[in-house]
Structure 1
Amino acid sequence: MTRTTVARTSTATLPTSRAPRRAPLRSRMADPLFTVMATGLLVAAIIAILYPLYFILIASVSEPSQILNGNVWLWPKGFTTEGYGLIFSDPAIVRGFANSVLYTLVGTTISVVSILCAAYALSRKDLFGRTFFMLLFIITMFIDGGLIARYLVVRDLGMLDSIWAVVLPGAIGVWNLIIARAFFENNVPEELRDAAQLDGANDFRFFLQVVLPLSKPLIFLMIMIHLVGNWNAFFDALIFLDDENKYPLQLVLRNVLIQSDVSSAGGSGAMDSYAAAQRIGELIKYGMIVVSTVPLLIVLPFMQKHFTKGALLGAVKS
């Protein structure tokens, strides 16, 4: 076979070039349609979440009569900061804010330290009775002695009307303990502990100098969860505290919203009419919601990255 014949044969077997076929109209419209629908749902969800916060903010600086008449939608009407002036001039509210800060810091510290220590111990396969101890924790998720039993325990321990009655009963959440245990099991290999032991490190030194630096996402996750929980908590204070000087801010806010105790929350004893007292009560109500929410809105955005990373690392084996 000559070279000319081979060249002709090779040319004949090559596929002819064809113009690319266009995708069907339904396929070409699927992605843009999905994008539009997803974007619309996301925008609607954002509005549904943010608008109530925005409304409370503008209502706190609006005239209560404008709010009751439904005139406040997008902008404040009858701008006034009288409510904030009454809030920050009332010693009960300022004291409640200070109590909430104290309870939150102490409670978060106790909870995070307890959970990290317990979770690491339960993640160790050489812990004697590990399954038994974990079972005891899990049982508490399904069986509770009830409010009366809890009150009797707190009373018999001598913690009534003290800070410990607020921060200790709910210090350890079992679900958070399970998350922390899964994090340690999946991200702290046994080989690392063996290497540390060869270098002369005992269990306490290994936990403090090796495990904790590797667990920063988990630590920030636990701090974030307990900061929010302790700051918003008021039920334990309602049950176990008798002294109003020890009430947290959320309990003071609860008295304003539910009991409408305007006289104790804003000092309205000098008001000349019930309508004037109601006006001051409305101003204080919205202003206190803003004051009690702002600290979390300031702190949490700085911890959001660690919150997401910590939540994922504890759930996926590396």
Structure 2
Amino acid sequence: MIQLRPRTDLFENGVLQSMESRALTYLRSGLPIHLRGPAGTGKTTLAIQIAARLGRPTILITGDGWFTAQNLIGRETGTKSKQVVDNYVHSVKKIQTEVSAVWSDDALTRAVSEGYTLVYDEFTRSPPQANNPLLAAFEERMLIVPGGARRERVVQAHPSFRAILTSNPEDYAGVTAPQDALIDRMITFDLDNHDRDTEVGIVSNRSRLDQLRASRIVDLIRALRGSPFLKQSPSMRSAIMIARITVTEDLTVGAQDPRFLQLCLDVLESKTSGIDPKIRNGFRTHLVDLVRSICASQSAENAA
């Protein structure tokens, strides 16, 4: 459990502010929020920022293929024994031993009972059955928690309990389709790739790179999305990586700087559709042509 504070160094424009404001409105009404989108679109950053603005302690967990419902609710962690010695009658000693299970609440139970904000990152990486406890927590605002000796207890949700979930598209490796019943209990925001101005603002803000060079890097990444040379579409995260190193090494964003071209290859070449040398050589030529074209186009616009 952590106490988050809203970050003041994040890039925000009208689009992002509107999404954040709407999400907070729905959360304050008690509804869970789901941020869905490709890797690198800022889902986790946005989820944590929204949680911080709620002002409540936050529990952050990340989905995993080995997750079970116990990872959300809790489990027995051992046993404890209690021994009572009765010497009431001097000549008789009576010893009574009681053994009981020790139960430890986990993330969801703690958030529900204490009124914390639960941020469940990449929840679709967990098996669907592991997320079953979320159904009652979201719909009925309660949990049925098993206890020792098969005794169950009902945990009613604290009025301040809130939940923010994130997920990648179902075609990502390691991602499973969530239950329709769970999706139906949440308000989903789809974060696809942002518009160009938003991406330029975020990349410039995260890297401290000037807008001109940041815009050229963003245009390169955007031009490569859907490229036949690439098996994995590059995200804004790739643009931020390139921009940060461009700042630290003071690179020229252009084909005339071999260090910049090598940087782009190091970041992006692993996303090609195979290790075939022809594919990689074709990608390298395509990348250089794109960098030249983007820089020439921007120079022409600035001159005009």
| Bin for the TM-score computed over the shorter chain | under 0.3
Higher relative contact order (CA 8 A, sep 6+): 1
Which structure features the higher share of strand residues? 2
TM-score by length of 1: 0.20
In terms of Rg, which structure is larger? Answer: 1
Which structure carries more helix by proportion?
A: 1
